[in-house]
Amino acid sequence: MAVDLSMPILVVDDYNTMIRIIRNLLKQLGFDDIDDASDGSAALAKMKEKKYGLVISDWNMEPMTGYELLKEVRADGSLSRTPFIMVTAESKTENVIAAKKAGVNNYIVKPFNAQTLKAKIDAVFAD
């Protein structure tokens, strides 16, 4: 399945610099409809107002972590099928397994590059 470049993407990170980096990388990849949120609860509120084609989220945020956001999204009938990529510095096997078990579609370890981001987005929509 080809990636729809017009789909809205929600980037969730508590560091404005990281949001800016991911936003620029996504623009370079051809995506244009990009929103952002600074934590899981802000992201959840935006997801209930707008249907996103992809969520790219950090793990460690306050008050709601990306892990909690993932579980909330998967438990919500109207949001549960939203593709979800975790982009995080949490690089223990335990974290990757927990995220996979919670239903994450892919997992990127920080620091990362544009090529990795593109490959993981392609992989999510190829499944």
Partner 1 sequence: MKKVSTDHLDRIVQFIRTKGNGDVSLGDVVALAEVTVESLSSFFRSIDMSVYRELSDIASFITNMKVEVGRLQPNDLKHSRIPAAGMELDAIVKATEKATDTIMGAAEELMAADASDPVAYKAMVDERMMLIFEACSFQDITGQRVAKVIDTLKHIEMRVTRFADAINAADADGYLSEDERRREERKIKNILHGPQLDGEGVDQNDVDALFAKPEKKGKDAATAK
**Which residues make up the interface to partner 1 (CB under 8 A)?**
17, 20-21, 24, 28, 59-60, 65, 67-68, 74, 80-84, 88-98, 100-110, 112, 116, 127
Give the tokens for residue 29. Answer: 């990849």
Question: Which uninterrupted H or E stretch holds 114?
Answer: helix 114-126
What's the min distance (Å) between Cβ of 101 and partner 1?
5
CB of 49 to partner 1, least distance (A): 20
- Cα–Cα distance list, 111 to 33, 89, 97, 126 (Å): 24, 7, 19, 24
Beta carbon nearer to partner 1, 74 or 118: 74
What is the nearest approach in angstroms of partner 1 to the Cβ of residue 92?
A: 5
